[in-house]
Structures are given as C-alpha cells and as structure tokens.
C-alpha cells in the first residue's frame, strides 16, 4: 500500500461502514465482502480481484486501532482529500515530496503535522529540519497558602502558549478548504535557477518554502495556522518550598516536536504570609507574648505549633526579653526527611489596665527594687570614649 493512499482512499466507503463504526461492525463488513469478492469464488474475474485487494487494504488499516487513528487524523486535516503530485523529485519513487519538509517551516504547527505525517508515512528522512526537537522550557507562577508550601501540595496550572489554530487545525486554510500544492514549485518548497554551468536552490518565493499555498485563509488565524491555546496541568509542589523559589517540573514544558522530549516547566512560587508563623529557612518562627513575672520567675508556657497541638516551652527564671527558644522537629520538613525547628521568641507584654491587686503588687516590687538603677551601667559606659 502506498503512503499517499491514506489521503486519497476512503476506507470506510470501501467497506461500506460509517466512520463511527465499531471494530465488530468493521470485521463483519469485511468478512461479508471478502467472501463475496474472494478470488477463489470469482475465478478469472480481474475486477473482483481488484475489489478484494481494496477491501483487504481497507480492513488492514481500519482493524488496527493505532493505524485507524492515524488515518482518521490525516483525513481530518485534509477533509477534501489531497492529491499528491508525483515525480517532481527524481529518486523518490512515486512520492513527489516529503510532507515533513513542507510543514516543518510552520513552527509548532509544522511540528505537529510533521509528527503526524511522520507516523502516517513512516518518516525515514532525517534532515536537520525534521529531526526530533525538544520542546521549549515554559515559565509560570503560582501562589500557595502558607501551610501548603510547608506540607507540599498539588496545584492546577493553566499554561498559555502558541499552538496549532484549532479552527483550521494548523493548516491555515478556511474551514471546508485545504491548502493547495504550490503551483510554482510543485510542492517542493524550493526553486532552482540555472546560472550557466551550475544551479542554485532557494526557498520558493510563492509559498516561502512551505510547498503549500492557502487560497482562502482561515479567518481565525489569518492563515498563519497558529493560535494561542491553553492547557491545564497538575503539578506537584514538594513540601518546604519557600517564597520566591523557582521550582522545576521536568517534562511539563512545551511538547517536543517529531517525537522529541517535552521541555521543562519552571514555576515561580509565591507564598502567602501566615498571621502567626513566619519562615526562616527550614525553621518556623513565632513570637509569644509573656508577662514580666514569667520571665523573672520562670514558667512553662503553651506555644502554638503549625498543624498540631500546642507545645510547652519552659522559660527559666531570669530570661531576658527577646530571647529565642528552639523547639526541634516542629519546623519545615526537609527533602531528607528531617524537620526544622520552631523558633519561639518571647516578648513581654505590658498590661494597659491593672486591677487594684496587681497594681499594689507592682508598686511593692518598685519599692523593693528602688535601690537598683537599671540604667546605671549604661550611663557610666556612655562616658567612655
């Protein structure tokens, strides 16, 4: 079977089934027709033999799920059929030009079509233009809640990029029409000029090397075959990501061309602040109000922990204000499975209103400490230097 058959022959019609026919229907239709036109049953009838060949060919494609899909896709791109000129290039047999070459000039759309035709037509040629190409890296950003950044989460990311125009499927031709083979270069995309004893080859001026010309451009993409499209992917963000970090998600960038690998996706992560907790590397921070008495006399204070029961921090007697205590294991989980700490900073609260008993107790404290001037040393040191 010739490769161009895919575009020229209607295998569904050959078997007398609908395009939506189920595999069982296709099989049944084939069996019925094969019995009728089998050469053994039609000895000497060359038209029956020809018909039998056509039926077998149609069935060989439509009965194979993968090939049927390729066939459907090829035909959906050129719904009106597609006559491939032959014999334009010496040495290419009956197949005049390489569709991969033609479409490779059209960027991503070309890549997609190149892929498709590579599959349909078996590829085989490896010029620089139709070699597999890795997809581009893509950048995006996302904003996470404080807790999601610490625990890790999965986010849905909407990626917008240029791809084949969905209306014309990247052909650039208005719906119901197809690009025509360029009459100037007969689809080769190249024109040759003879300059005395040697010739030069350059891209065809009529079709700009594409090999096809669009007579009725697709109004949606003005004939370019390209359009902005969006896709949504779910990306796993590892636990412990920090605000401003750039996370690499391998293989989630732009799709590769002609079987090449996809590019990578880079996600710039923003983390919303938490009303209570802060971050310092792998540690969480929290500032805890304490009373003067708790610092002076020592105390055990309850401190909030992120996602979990509060933890108790023992404050020794005589702790200065602003001291930080470390609670191991209550911070951010690291990649190696260990966890950072919760850093608890004490902050003395001075009461605005004092009841009678508290007021008289503090007045007593003032009298009891009247001999101590906390600024004495400061005033002395200020005289130095």
Decide: is 218 part of the binding site for Zn ion (CB under 5 A). Answer: yes
Candidates 107-115, 204-212, 272-280, 373-381: pick the segment binding Zn ion (CB under 5 A): 204-212
Q: Which stretch binds Zn ion (CB under 5 A): 219-227, 278-286, 338-346, 350-358?
A: 219-227
Is 72 or 220 the residue whose CB approaches Zn ion more closely? Answer: 220
Single residue of 72, 73, 220, 243 touching Zn ion by CB under 5 A? 220
**Residue 192 C-beta: closest distance to Zn ion, Å:** 12
Q: Which of 55, 61, 181, 185 binds Zn ion (CB under 5 A)?
A: 185
Residue 18 or residue 228: which is nearer to Zn ion going by CB? 228
Judged by beta carbon, residue 170 or residue 263, the one nearer Zn ion is: 170
Among 84, 182, 271, 284, indicate the residue that binds Zn ion (CB under 5 A).
182
184 part of the interface to Zn ion, by CB under 5 A? yes
Q: Is 221 in the site for Zn ion (CB under 5 A)?
A: yes
Q: How far is the CB of 193 from Zn ion (least distance, A)?
A: 14
88 interacts with Zn ion by CB under 5 A = no
Which of residues 57, 137, 206, 216 is near Zn ion by CB under 5 A?
A: 206
Binds Zn ion (CB under 5 A): choice among 26, 84, 144, 207: 207
Report in angstroms the alpha-carbon separations of 38 from 33, 35, 256.
8, 5, 45
Q: Tell me, residue by residue from 132 to 171, as one string, x for binding to Zn ion by CB under 5 A and - for no binding.
A: ---------------------------------x-xx---
Q: Is residue 204 at the binding interface for Zn ion, with CB under 5 A as the rule? A: yes
Name which of 204 and 254 has its Cβ closer to Zn ion. 204
**Number of chain positions touching Zn ion (CB under 5 A):** 12
- Binding-site ranges for Zn ion (CB under 5 A): 165, 167-168, 182, 184-185, 204, 206-207, 218, 220-221
């Amino acid at each position: 079977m010739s490769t161009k058959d895919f575009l020229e022959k209607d295998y569904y019609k050959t078997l007398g089934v609908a395009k939506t026919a189920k595999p069982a229907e296709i099989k049944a239709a084939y069996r019925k027709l094969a019995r009728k036109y089998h050469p053994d049953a039609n000895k000497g009838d060359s038209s029956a033999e020809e018909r039998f060949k056509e039926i077998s060919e149609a069935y060989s494609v439509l009965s194979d799920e993968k090939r049927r899909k390729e066939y459907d896709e090829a035909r959906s791109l050129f719904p009106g059929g597609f006559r491939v000129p032959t014999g334009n290039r010496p040495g290419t047999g009956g197949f005049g030009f390489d569709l991969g070459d033609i479409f490779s000039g059209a960027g991503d759309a070309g890549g997609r079509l190149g892929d498709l035709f590579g599959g349909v037509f078996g590829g085989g040629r490896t010029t620089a233009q139709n070699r597999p190409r890795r997809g581009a890296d893509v950048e995006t950003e996302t904003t996470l809640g404080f807790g999601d950044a610490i625990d890790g989460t999965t986010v849905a990311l909407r990626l917008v990029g240029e791809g084949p125009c969905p209306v014309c499927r990247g052909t650039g031709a208005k719906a119901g029409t197809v690009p025509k083979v360029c009459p100037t270069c007969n689809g080769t995309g190249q024109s040759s000029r003879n300059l005395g004893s040697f010739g030069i080859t350059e891209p065809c001026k009529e079709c700009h090397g594409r090999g096809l010309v669009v007579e009725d451009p697709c109004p949606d993409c003005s004939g370019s075959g390209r359009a902005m499209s969006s896709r949504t992917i779910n990306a796993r963000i590892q636990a412990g990501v920090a605000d401003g970090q750039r996370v690499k998600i391998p293989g989630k960038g732009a799709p590769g061309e002609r079987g090449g690998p996809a590019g990578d996706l880079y996600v710039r992560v923003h983390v919303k602040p938490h009303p209570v907790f802060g971050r310092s590397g792998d540690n969480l921070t929290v500032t805890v109000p304490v009373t003067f008495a708790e610092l002076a006399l020592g105390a055990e204070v309850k401190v909030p922990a992120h996602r979990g029961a509060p933890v108790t921090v023992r404050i020794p007697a005589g702790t200065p204000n602003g001291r930080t205590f470390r609670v191991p294991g209550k911070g951010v989980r690291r990649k190696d499975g260990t966890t950072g700490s919760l850093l608890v900073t004490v902050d003395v609260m001075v009461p605005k209103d004092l009841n009678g008993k508290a007021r008289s107790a503090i007045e007593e404290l003032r009298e009891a400490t009247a001999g101590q001037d906390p600024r004495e040393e400061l005033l002395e040191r200020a005289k130095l230097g």
